[in-house]
């Protein structure tokens, strides 16, 4: 008796070996967890050895390497069926997590990984870029991702480009900042967006591995807010009255230029943050998790 179609797909999936780059990051861990739950074999690439224990605990085989080191990726694609890359320089204004611009981390590391995928005959490559990235290539953060997309488009491999809006995790910092009593808003705070939970993005990524053709998927969450409304949610989560200080975008861009002189990547991040806070960014709703629940849970954990 034949297996039902669903079971056949599951059995085929079990046979796959999936390499996840950036596996120690916020999104990467969700991807690893969901792949393992689906029965896939996962080879996780992490940069820092302290991330290795966490992904091994999820059941993944792990390699610690710096993708920017010469020859670091040679041979890594052998025996791999599909690659997911969530690899990128940290998306934070902190000047203490590296200085190299995004174009000198995200682009070269992911381009080398894509070339290795082709060399090793890997059948598909899923890359996480960003919603609206094509339209703001003058920004270093967006251009770094778009360089990878351009490269993948030229390669003989089924490439899936996943373009999420902002992750809940990236917004959660607002809850911590709201505890200071006042939140900065670049511009009037009216630009709309629909942030998405990392786990919802990971679910889209895991499904993308079943695609044989190249594709592009924009991923947003279920609720669309203005940037000011997101700030208000952060205050609500801690039970405080919302208070904002409006920073003129010109001033924020000046601040970004000054910061870039000390730390180029931190400066590029602030330029990008100014752009996203003043420009609408809405993607088709794919996710189901709610930002208000996430903020309340984040606030409860302290
Ligand atoms: N955050 C957002 O709202 C958002 C929205 C849309 C798209 N994205 C994009 O989605 C991707 C994943 O985001 P995320 O928030 O999960 O980022 P993340 O937490 O910073 O994870 C990125 C991972 O890449 C790894 N990595 C960086 N440089 C490396 C190198 N040279 N060699 C090997 N590994 C390296 C990091 O390892 P270490 O931890 O060891 O440094 C980290 O684990 C990024 O490309 C990001 O730009 C993010």
Nearest CA to ligand 1 atom 19: 25
Q: Encoding tokens for residue 118?
A: 């082709």
Q: Which residue has the tokens 């499904």?
A: 207
Determine the pLDDT at residue 2.
35
Residue among 87, 148, 265 whose CB has most ligand 1 atoms within 8 A, to mutate: 87
Determine the pLDDT at residue 14.
55
Structural domain boundaries of the chain? 5-165+198-220
- Please count the CA atoms within 13 angstroms of the CA of 268 that sit on its side-chain side: 23
Residue among 44, 88, 104, 165 whose CB has most ligand 1 atoms within 8 A, to mutate: 88
- Distance (Å, whole) CA 124 – CA 118: 9
Measuring CA to CA, how many Å separate 119 from each of 59, 73, 115, 224?
A: 27, 11, 6, 42
- Distance (Å, whole) CA 102 – CA 272: 11
Radius of gyration of the chain (CA): 20
CB contact set of 59 (below 8 Å; sequence gap of 6+): 36, 42
Q: Please state the atom number of ligand 1 nearest to the C-alpha of residue 68.
A: 31
- Distance (Å, whole) CA 230 – CA 289: 15
Determine the pLDDT at residue 165.
98
- Strands 82-85 and 124-128, bridge-based pairing: parallel
| pTM summary value | 0.94
DSSP 226-249: EHHHHHHHHHHHTT----EEEEPH
- Give 26-30's long-range contacts (Cβ < 8 A, gap of 24+): 26/167, 26/169, 26/198, 27/86, 27/128, 27/167, 27/198, 27/201, 27/202, 28/55, 28/86, 28/87, 29/54, 29/55, 29/58, 30/198, 30/199, 30/201, 30/202
DSSP 8-state symbol, 153: H
Closest residue by Cα to residue 43 from 71, 27, 22, 66: 22
Determine the pLDDT at residue 95.
81
Phi, psi at 271, each rounded to 5°? -60, -45
Cα 91 to ligand 1 centroid, rounded to whole Å? 7
CATH number of 5-165+198-220: 3.40.50.720
DSSP 20-86: EETTTSHHHHHHHHHHHHTT-EEEEEESSHHHHHHHHHTT-EEEE--TTSTTTTTTTTTT-SEEEE-
Q: Other C-beta atoms within 10 Å of 7: how many?
A: 10
CB contact set of 231 (below 8 Å; sequence gap of 6+): 174, 178, 183, 185, 189, 242, 244
* Ligand 1 pocket at CB < 6 A: 22, 24-28, 46-48, 51, 66-68, 86-91, 105-106, 109, 128, 130, 164, 166-167, 170
Phi, psi at 215, each rounded to 5°? -155, 170
pLDDT tens per residue, the chain (302 residues)?
333 333 334 444 456 999 999 999 999 999 999 999 999 999 999 999 999 999 999 999 999 999 999 899 999 999 999 999 999 999 988 888 899 999 999 999 999 999 999 999 999 999 999 999 999 999 999 999 999 999 999 999 999 999 999 999 999 999 999 999 999 999 999 999 999 999 999 999 999 998 889 999 999 999 999 999 999 999 999 999 999 999 999 999 999 999 999 999 999 999 999 999 999 999 999 989 999 999 999 999 98
Cα 2 to ligand 1 centroid, rounded to whole Å? 43
């Amino acid at each position: 008796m034949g297996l039902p179609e669903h079971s056949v797909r599951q059995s085929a999936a079990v046979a796959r070996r999936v390499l996840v780059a950036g596996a120690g990051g916020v999104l990467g861990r969700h991807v690893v967890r969901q792949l393992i739950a689906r029965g896939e074999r996962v080879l996780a690439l992490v940069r820092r050895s302290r991330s290795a224990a966490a992904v091994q605990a999820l059941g993944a085989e792990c390699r610690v390497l710096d993708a920017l080191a010469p020859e670091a990726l040679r041979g890594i694609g052998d025996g791999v069926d599909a690659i997911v890359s969530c690899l990128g320089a940290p998306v934070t204004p902190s000047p203490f997590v590296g200085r190299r611009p995004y174009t000198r981390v995200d682009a070269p590391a992911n381009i080398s990984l894509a070339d290795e995928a082709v060399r090793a005959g890997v059948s598909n490559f899923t890359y996480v870029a960003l919603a609206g990235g094509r339209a703001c290539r003058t920004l270093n953060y967006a251009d770094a991702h778009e360089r990878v997309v351009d490269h993948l488009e030229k390669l003989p491999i089924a490439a899936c480009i996943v373009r999420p809006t902002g992750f809940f995790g990236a917004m959660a910092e607002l809850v911590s900042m709201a505890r200071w009593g006042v939140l900065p808003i670049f511009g009037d705070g009216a630009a709309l967006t629909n942030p998405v939970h990392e786990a919802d993005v990971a679910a889209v990524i895991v499904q993308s591995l079943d695609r044989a053709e190249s594709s592009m998927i924009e991923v947003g969450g279920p609720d669309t807010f203005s940037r000011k409304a997101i700030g208000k949610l952060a205050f609500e989560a801690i039970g405080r009255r919302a208070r904002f200080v409006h920073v003129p975008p010109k001033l924020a861009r000046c601040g970004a230029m000054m910061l870039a002189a000390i730390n180029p990547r931190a400066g590029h991040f602030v330029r990008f943050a100014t752009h996203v806070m003043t420009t609408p960014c809405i993607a088709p709703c794919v996710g189901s998790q709610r930002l208000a629940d996430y903020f309340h849970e984040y606030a409860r954990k302290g």
